[in-house]
Structure 1
Amino acid sequence: MVFLAYGLLAAASQALFVTYAPVTEDAARHFGVSIGEIGWLSQVFPLVYVLLAVPAGIALDRFLRPALVVGAVLTASGAFLRLVADDFTWAFIGQAVAAAGQPFVLNAIPGLAVGYLAEKHRATGIAAASSATFAGMVLGYLLGALLPGENHIRTLTLITALIAMDAGLCLVAALRLPPRARPESAPATSGFRAFRVALGNRHVRRLCAVVAIPMGTFIALATFVQPLLAPAGVSESTAGLILALTMIAGVIGCAVVPVWADRRGREVQVMGAAIAFTAGACLHLVLVPSTPMAFLMLLGTGFVLLPALPIVLSLSERHAPEAESTAAGLVWMAGNLGGVLLATAVGLLVTRPAIAFAVLSAATLLALPALHWFRRLDTTAP
């Protein structure tokens, strides 16, 4: 019950994140601002995450349920603040408040797995919770595809606000169920000591290095793929459909790939394949930009790349069991920092899609040395 309610809130949080991404040009016309400014309605989420990831992780390690309630309240409040006035200023304020709730929601995945699942089911639970976050993006992109046009922006905002409120209420009700006792072999660490433990863990630090660029590539694509594909003749509604199907492929991948990799000890190999495929997909969009190529490459990227996140979260929980939420916060922070940097770079190149996709392809390949660095540590550790 707790995991189901959590999944609803995680999905709602990500639906807010991508609300305006599939209707970038319509939202720009509706609010009377540039496409780059609309991009900031999504980019504020990774930016705020970078600032609050560690404090949220520390709070979750010490007060799991109250901190999750804070996340639910901020998420729903931000969603409704966007409705105060039908202008860009209130849209941005609401997005920023909802973004402040996101670290309290997403950092909780490993802590919930430890608190409510037996050890043998934790990898599956983390994969399922991660799938819910991507399902929220699916919902956001589908809503954008089903409600195109600048006259539907207000309706889109209202629908996602109602979803966030209902999901938050469900989670608050479900959290009345207390977590199970933590095993003595993994006593909880709280406060700044949890931060020192997580940051001092070499496995966690190297996982942060691995996840930063690929997750940043995905955030940049999720934010700007619609205007990047427009010169190739891809309509706004088609781009929204592509993004929605990409997320559906990611949800399916998260349900299958991390569990398979965990059972066979192939986590590193799976992440390496995902990084290589993503770089190749971006390169294909440089050489053959078209609607069929966008469908093929982005759906493949969703299926192989998005499962890398639950794999990394599962590895971080395994290597830092006494500070799992703080370790997850560091991982998410690294990924969102990569998202801020790469999305900003792509935003500057949004009128030159070939260069933008080439930059993403080259940047993504830089994650392979970091993955090799982690693998060397993992294979030499006692």
Structure 2
Amino acid sequence: MSRWSAIVGYSLVGAATQLVWLNFAGVTTVAATHYNVSETAIGWLAQVFPLLYVVLSIPCGLALDRWFRPALLAGALLTALGALVRLGGDHFAWLLAGQLIASIAQPLVLNAVTGITGRYLEEKDRPTGIAIGTASIFAGMVLAFLLSAVFPTAASLHTMLLITAAFCVLSTLFLAATLRTPGPHAPAAPAVPQAIFTALRTAWSDPLIRRLCVLAVFPFGVFVALSTFAQPLLEPAGVTSTTASLILLLNVIAGVLGSALLPIYAARHHAESPYLVTSLTTTAIACLFLAFLPSTPVALITITLIGLLLLPALPIVLELVERRSTDAEGTAAGLIWLSGNLGGLLAATAVGLLVNHPRPAFLLLALLPLIALPGAHTLRHHLQTPAPTTR
């Protein structure tokens, strides 16, 4: 029997992590003026999340493998604590302290998406559970953009932070209530708990997991770089900052819808490899249009299409990890998130160097998914190969 209440609780906390992460994405200039710091400093309130994710992803995955419920609840509590700390005072130092606390929590929460579905859902429901859990992460991004649009002034920043903290606390309480007892499908504890390096070796020894880690770099990289620099890259083509923000919001909304529906279809029809090939190819073509025919209508269509088709690649990859891995599922999911965040950092850095040269920047973004195409095409072979056994 599936316990969907646990998935709802997880989804709320997953959205909360993204809300805290991106609270200031739409009010960077206003926040910089209000707190008397540079826009770069406000940007670091978000950048600490992927930076710490790269460092903490594997340790957090290992913690989830050993102590799933306590580790996930710790992530939820740290997210709520970080949001509350930001209310400690009207100074930048309080914001940074809160962000650092919440950024430690993020890998504990996001790495748990495969673990919670495997423990609380029947096997037939797990692709749907992973799709919902991942879509909620993108929904948290949408909520962050909406809050910054509703509270765009310096006088309303405190209200925005207060609403965020309330959402985080309530989400944590709901998740805690749903995790009072172990999931009905929780794996049996091994006679001898896996050592840290044993769990990591178990996950990394699987060729499919290694290939999925490589594939995760490219969708993450394109999405993060596009989300970060779409506005300045499109500005020379006459796309205003307001329009660019709306386009990015539609991009994430399309991603939420796609992530909730398309991975389920791919899993039921065993079409993961063809879907990834289609998604990567479409993304490359869309970026070519942005490179050679940039305009508001082209940006609206292509970037929304990228969100619809590219973002569902994440839940598809995570569902394959859940299906493949057993006692090292948290570590395997951590490797996927680590690869994705690393790809995002590298791609965003490279595109940032080309921010004043839109065409080369978009051509680079078109090249990244093309690099991943051979791996996505041959994924079918690895899906048919049994996972290696470890001693």
TM superposition score normalised by structure 2:
0.89
Partner of 1:7: 11
Partner of 1:355: 360
1:86 deviates by 3.5
What is the identity, as a one-letter code, of the residue corresponding to 2:76? A
Partner of 1:44: 48
What is the identity, as a one-letter code, of the residue corresponding to 2:200? F
1:184 deviates by 6.6
Task: Note the residue ranges of structure 1 that are not aligned, 5 or more in a row.
Answer: none
Q: What RMSD in Å do the two structures reach over aligned CA positions?
A: 2.5
Distance 2:187 2:88 in 1: 47
Partner of 1:287: 292
Distance 2:70 2:99 in 1: 22
User: Which of the numbers 6, 10, 26 marks the counterpart of 2:30?
Assistant: 26
1:328 deviates by 0.6
Partner of 1:316: 321
Q: How does 1:113-132 map to 2 (within 5 A)?
A: 113-132=117-136
Partner of 1:176: 180
What is the identity, as a one-letter code, of the residue corresponding to 2:25? A
Does the C-alpha gap of structure 1 residues 80 and 90 become closer, same or farther in structure 2, counting only changes over 3 Å? same
Distance 2:97 2:231 in 1: 23
Partner of 1:261: 266
Distance 1:93 1:345 in 2: 29
What is the identity, as a one-letter code, of the residue corresponding to 1:225? A
Distance 2:193 2:241 in 1: 48
Does the C-alpha gap of structure 1 residues 210 and 177 become closer, same or farther in structure 2, counting only changes over 3 Å? same
Q: Which moved more, 1:161-170 or 1:118-127?
A: 161-170
Q: How does 1:1-382 map to 2 (within 5 A)?
A: 1-182=5-186, 190-192=194-196, 193-379=198-384
Does the C-alpha gap of structure 1 residues 85 and 221 become closer, same or farther in structure 2, counting only changes over 3 Å? farther
Q: Which moved more, 1:115-124 or 1:214-223?
A: 214-223
1:35 deviates by 4.2
Q: Which moved more, 1:41-50 or 1:132-141?
A: 41-50
Residue-pair matches, total = 382
Percent identity over paired residues: 48
What is the identity, as a one-letter code, of the residue corresponding to 1:308? A
What is the identity, as a one-letter code, of the residue corresponding to 2:75? G
What is the identity, as a one-letter code, of the residue corresponding to 2:79? T
1:151 deviates by 4.5
Task: Note the residue ranges of structure 2 that are not aligned, 5 or more in a row.
Answer: none
For the 8 Å contact 1:18–1:223, the answer to whether it is kept is no
Does the C-alpha gap of structure 1 residues 346 and 74 become closer, same or farther in structure 2, counting only changes over 3 Å? farther
Q: Which moved more, 1:151-160 or 1:97-106?
A: 151-160
For the 8 Å contact 2:54–2:341, the answer to whether it is kept is yes
For the 8 Å contact 2:219–2:311, the answer to whether it is kept is no
1:374 deviates by 3.4
